[in-house]
Amino acid sequence: MRLDRKGTRAGIVLLGLLALTVPRLITAAPLDMLDGSRLPYDPAEDSSANFPGSAFFFAQGAFDPVPGALTVQSEHVMGLDEVEAAPAAAFRGMTALDSYRALNCLTSAIYYEAANEPDDGQRAVAQVVLNRVRSPLWPNSVCGVVYQGSERTDARCQFTFSCDGAMARLPSAAAWARARRVAERALAGDVYKPVGLATHYHTLAVRPDWSGTLQPVAVIGAHIFYRNLGFNGTPAAFRGAYSGRETQSGPAPRVWTAQPLPSTPLPSPVPQVRPFLPASPSILPAPPRVEQELPESTIRPEYRNSGRPLV
């Protein structure tokens, strides 16, 4: 009996040891296998080394460069889709004033949208403006495209600098001259091919809702550029003629809508109580005259008329 009891206890202890060690043997093997296949450490993914919009570049497959995409040999350009260059065309105003206004409006768009961008970034912004001029979806003048919606008071203009107060800042002379040179080349017919037929862009720091409905074509500098889908994104949709008339030289006047008055009823007027003022002493009524009763005279009758004049 003692041997049986000892054998039973030994069996229980052995089962307990197996229960503790077997799970470790099962889980350790896969972990050892994964340990050898770890990806190399990338210091660029540290939070301290990131920059606004860097998530776009770490999104797997979201913005992989497309082999054979039409692009230039530049470190500032990453092609995302095969693009077709916009039709070459010169944008000449009908008069010298029209040409001056077109140049000034395009320079403003380049400066306020991409003053700190490399030449590739500034040329891409200029090409987007001119692509819109040739598309029937936007005005057929340079200033009309640049300042479209600038009269709105809800900051929903097409180019935010035209309605968010950015133009109140005095531009840098050197940066303005650089943007003007880019605008002159674009208006003369210099097509920037890497941006293709793009009509939209935004910075890497934001992700607008409309970006999911368009086709990204390139990352140039700090902006991502998009083209329309379907027919509106093909060269046939960019055959519109430039009007040559620039009737607008800056942001449109703001349109402020009148706010309706509240419809709540007005409170009833409180009756005014005139304060009591004492009457002036000059107009106070005279007190009633009270006749005083004198006592009966005790003078003898023969002496009552004494003291009166004789005549």
Name the band, by pLDDT with cuts 50, 70 and 90, for residue 81: confident
**Mean per-residue pLDDT for 90-103?**
96
Residue 305 in this model has a pLDDT that exceeds 60: yes
pLDDT computed for residue 83 by the predictor: 87
CA 80 to CA 227: how far, in whole Å?
A: 11
Name the band, by pLDDT with cuts 50, 70 and 90, for residue 292: low
pLDDT computed for residue 187 by the predictor: 97
pTM of the model: 0.62
Neighbours of 231 (CB within 10 A): 8
Q: Report the 3 state secondary structure along 77-137.
A: EEECCCCCCCCCCCCCCCCHHHHHHHHHHHHHHHHHHHCCCCHHHHHHHHHHHHHHHHCCC
Q: What is the mean pLDDT of the chain?
A: 78
Name the band, by pLDDT with cuts 50, 70 and 90, for residue 62: very low
pLDDT computed for residue 124 by the predictor: 96
Q: Is 93 left (phi over 0), alpha (psi -120 to 50) or beta?
A: beta
CA 71 to CA 64: how far, in whole Å?
A: 14
**Mean per-residue pLDDT for 124-132?**
97
pLDDT computed for residue 262 by the predictor: 66
pLDDT computed for residue 175 by the predictor: 96
Instruction: For residue range 17-34, list pLDDT tens digits in order.
Output: 766 665 555 544 444 444
Residue 194 in this model has a pLDDT that exceeds 80: yes
Q: Which residue has the higher pLDDT, 79 or 155?
A: 79
Amino acid at 165: G
CA 163 to CA 252: how far, in whole Å?
A: 9
How many percent of the chain have pLDDT more than 90?
40
**Mean per-residue pLDDT for 92-104?**
96
Number of H helices and number of E strands within the chain?
Answer: 6, 4
SS3 of residue 215 by DSSP = strand
pLDDT computed for residue 28 by the predictor: 44
**Mean per-residue pLDDT for 298-306?**
68
The gap between the terminal CA atoms of the chain, to the nearest Å, is 178
Name the band, by pLDDT with cuts 50, 70 and 90, for residue 141: very high
Q: Which residue has the higher pLDDT, 254 or 161?
A: 161
Residue 220 burial class via C-beta count within 10 angstroms: exposed 0-12, middle 13-18, buried 19 and up: buried
pLDDT computed for residue 238 by the predictor: 92
Amino acid at 242: Y
Q: Which residue has the higher pLDDT, 174 or 69?
A: 174
Which segment of 66-75, 116-125, 190-199, 242-251 scores lowest on mean pLDDT? Answer: 66-75
